[in-house]
Structure 1
Amino acid sequence: MILTVEHVTRYVYDMPMRGLVQSHRLRPSDHDGQTVLDWDVTVTDGLRGGSFRDGAGDLNESWSVSGPVSEVEIRVSGRVRTEDRAGVLRGLRETVRPECYLRETPFTRPDRELRAMGDAVEGMPELQAAHALAERVARAIVWTPGATDAGTTAAQALARGKGVCQDHAHAVIAVARHVGIPARYVSGYLLAENVQDAAHAWAELYVGGLGWVGFDAANACCPNANYIRLASGLDAQDAAPIRGSSRGGGQETLDVTVAVRQAQQ
């Protein structure tokens, strides 16, 4: 199918900032099951800098905005042709070895409960274990918008039993790494009927013989043609589509709208 994306991120400052610099990973990469037909990123009064493709296959672009800056809007729009590959990622040109994704981060450090969840799948074939741990996370953390925030760890979300896609992904990653399965965080888009206030996220686990396989515990499925893969990293912070800093003492307000729809074909 063909999916269209309209993604707007707006930063508003209560006093003008002297300027800002950002690094974006807002352009999807082509791979088996995902072909970018057209894509555009614009930044209000922004100056596009250099770009490079990192070892994970993600395109990084730098932007700067000179002050005084009271408001900045980042607008992303485009069309992507997608196919259902049962969550298996193939055809992405990357050079990072899977073993690099066994490293813990503060967001994905397992506590006793997460380790116990992993111990329950020990001894299973790797693919079966990956599905089982994703299913366990899906049952243990109920989708509850507003129950957590950007700083919530996998252990905290599991203890609350509530969370959003970021929490599900972090928990799957934490358990997978505990049992020796390389795992990483993926940011992207998901087809939805309504306008959303954030992009989507899921986990990818490296399964011998298959390679990277996506698991979206928030929706109890593997990514299919309804998904657009954007960028990856060790956790949500590492895989963030937008990172940067601003110069000045003002307070920042963030507003995000995401609309993903199926195009007429």
Structure 2
Amino acid sequence: MLLNIVHETRYSFTQGVTHGLQRLRLRPKSSHGQTVVEWTTQLEGAVHEAEYDDQNRNRVELVSIEPGAREVVVTCRGTVHTADNNGIVGDQAGHMPLWCFLRPTPLTRAGLKVRALVARVDADRTDRLTYLHKLSHAVREAIDYVPGVTDVNTSAEQALAVGRGVCQDHAHVFISAGRLVDIPTRYVGGYLKMDGQIEQEAGHGWAEAYVPDLGWVGFDVSNAISPDERYVRVATGCDYSEAAPVTGIATGAGESRLSVHVSVEESQAGQQQQAQDQPPGEQQQSQGG
């Protein structure tokens, strides 16, 4: 599938910024199951300073906010070719050893509620893939998908306590539970082409777990599937904080307001090619997100 993506992040400040730096993890990486055809980043109110790969092999752009700016706009546009590999990403490719993905973080530290959830999963842990699918189902049953209840600082324990949350919360609980039973797990931030909906309010998040002989395998708890050709991986980390699309500081800015606009759609070229490859008499079925 050939996907066209536009991601606009806009910061508005009540006062002119004295000094500010932002770290962008917005550029997808070509990896098993996806190839970045083109990608551009445009800046308003900021200038590009440096670019590097972090410890998770995420492509990071460091930008500085222009002094006096009262608005910063980061607009990314690109095209990514994707394939359905049943969620399998493959072996570890970053600089981090697998044991790093067993460590608890403030957002994924297991408490009584995560431990109770793990105890309810009725599956043989030696059959890791089957266990992980049942764990994903258990997490989805424990947390209803309800936006606006949690935020980026909500931990796995806190999400389980309220029983409501979004994709980030599902991923953090899954990660926390996996580490509790000695399965390396990590957070993935990226994009999802939703059926019948191009415009979105944010990107998407899911989890990956390491399975012997397969490597990293994705689990989108919110949608109860493993990622397919509709997904684009952008950044990974031990939790959301290491894969966040934009982080940074701004001094002298007063109060700030953030707005995000994301659109993900299949390109016309991709649709035409898919129609040519489709056998006569068959119709492609659309799956709900």
TM-score higher than 0.5:
yes
- Point out the structure with max Rg over C-alpha: 2
Please name the residue that 2:142 is paired with. 140
CA distance in 1: counterparts of 2:29 and 2:78, whole angstroms: 13
CA distance in 2: counterparts of 1:23 and 1:152, whole angstroms: 21
Q: Secondary structure at the match of 2:115?
A: helix
Amino acid at match of 1:146: G
TM-score by length of 2: 0.88
Please name the residue that 1:211 is paired with. 215
Please name the residue that 1:30 is paired with. 30
Which of 253, 262, 267 is the equivalent residue of 1:263?
267
**1:91, distance to aligned residue in structure 2 (A):** 7.2
What are structure 1's unaligned runs of at least 5 residues? Answer: none
CA distance in 2: counterparts of 1:36 and 1:13, whole angstroms: 33
Q: Secondary structure at the match of 1:69?
A: coil
CA distance in 1: counterparts of 2:177 and 2:39, whole angstroms: 35
Q: Is the 8 A contact 2:5 2:262 kept in 1?
A: yes
Deviations 1:207-238 (A, max 9, x none): 11111111010110111100000001111112
CA distance in 2: counterparts of 1:42 and 1:63, whole angstroms: 11
**1:80, distance to aligned residue in structure 2 (A):** 0.2
* Shift in CA distance, 183/214, structure 1 to aligned 2, threshold 3 Å: same
CA distance in 2: counterparts of 1:262 and 1:21, whole angstroms: 34
Q: Is the 8 A contact 1:122 1:179 kept in 2?
A: no
Please name the residue that 1:185 is paired with. 187
Deviations 1:135-171 (A, max 9, x none): 1111111111112122211111112211100100001
Please name the residue that 1:236 is paired with. 240
Amino acid at match of 2:163: G
CA distance in 1: counterparts of 2:141 and 2:53, whole angstroms: 37
**1:113, distance to aligned residue in structure 2 (A):** 2.2
Amino acid at match of 1:197: E
Please name the residue that 1:107 is paired with. 107
Amino acid at match of 1:250: G
CA distance in 2: counterparts of 1:64 and 1:90, whole angstroms: 35
Number of residue equivalences: 265
Deviations 1:225-252 (A, max 9, x none): 0000000111111211111111215111
What are structure 2's unaligned runs of at least 5 residues? Answer: 270-289
Q: Is the 8 A contact 2:9 2:75 kept in 1?
A: yes
CA distance in 2: counterparts of 1:121 and 1:24, whole angstroms: 41
What is the RMSD of the two structures over their aligned residues, measured on CA atoms? 1.5
Please name the residue that 2:132 is paired with. 130
* Shift in CA distance, 160/28, structure 1 to aligned 2, threshold 3 Å: same
Q: Is the 8 A contact 2:43 2:74 kept in 1?
A: yes
**1:67, distance to aligned residue in structure 2 (A):** 1.0
**1:73, distance to aligned residue in structure 2 (A):** 0.4
Q: How does 1:1-265 map to 2 (within 5 A)?
A: 1-90=1-90, 93-119=93-119, 120-121=121-122, 123-124=124-125, 125-192=127-194, 193-265=197-269
Amino acid at match of 1:98: L
Q: Is the 8 A contact 2:171 2:220 kept in 1?
A: yes
